[in-house]
Amino acid sequence: MSLGESATPLGKVKGLGSAREGGGHWLEERFTSVALVLLSFWLLFSLVMLPKFELATLKEWLSSAWTAIPMALFVVAAFKHGLDGLKVAVDDYVHDEGNRIALHYLLTMSAIAGASVALFALARIVFAPVAA
């Protein structure tokens, strides 16, 4: 181990830094990033391929399970990724422990509320009765 390296050989193998944590969080950020890139390409391609860009067409498109499931994954991945990024910013710039904990709680509850509203709206579209 050369001078300046803080990780032990075991820590390098486990993917942990000198604080003995963070490897899992780093991987979660990368997984959600890749998922969002793939799901964003799917969403853009799907919207471009629609015959019309009207509300009835969008509702019909979104009511399919082949569309609703990736859309739900997109919502969950987007809120998780956003929450992780905001928590890292809070950790970096808020130094008072009490304020940091309060902001983490507020951010977590806001992300849960936002994702819940988005998933509820998606479920309302998916499970809406078909108009005759």
Q: State which amino acid sits at residue 17.
A: G
Determine, yes or no, domain membership for 118.
yes
Q: Residue 112: CA atoms inside 13 Å, Cβ hemisphere, count?
A: 6
Determine, yes or no, domain membership for 81.
yes
How many domains does the chain fold into?
1
Determine, yes or no, domain membership for 20.
no
Instruction: Give the residue among 108, 47, 106, 111 at the shortest CA–CA distance from 75.
Output: 111
Interval 18-67: pLDDT, tens: 555 667 888 999 999 999 999 999 999 999 999 998 988 999 999 999 99
Query: With contact defined as beta carbons under 8 Å apart, do 62 and 71 qualify?
Result: yes
Determine, yes or no, domain membership for 12.
no
Q: State which amino acid sits at residue 20.
A: R
Interval 80-118: pLDDT, tens: 999 999 999 999 999 999 999 999 999 999 999 999 999
Rg (CA), the chain: 20
CATH number where 98 lies: 1.20.1300.10
Determine, yes or no, domain membership for 7.
no
Q: What are phi and psi of 51, to 5 degrees?
A: -70, -40
Determine, yes or no, domain membership for 67.
yes
Determine, yes or no, domain membership for 3.
no
So what's the pLDDT on residue 24?
83
Enclosing domain of residue 79? 27-126
Residue 2 has pLDDT above 90, yes or no: no
Chain centroid to Cα 97, Å, comes to 25
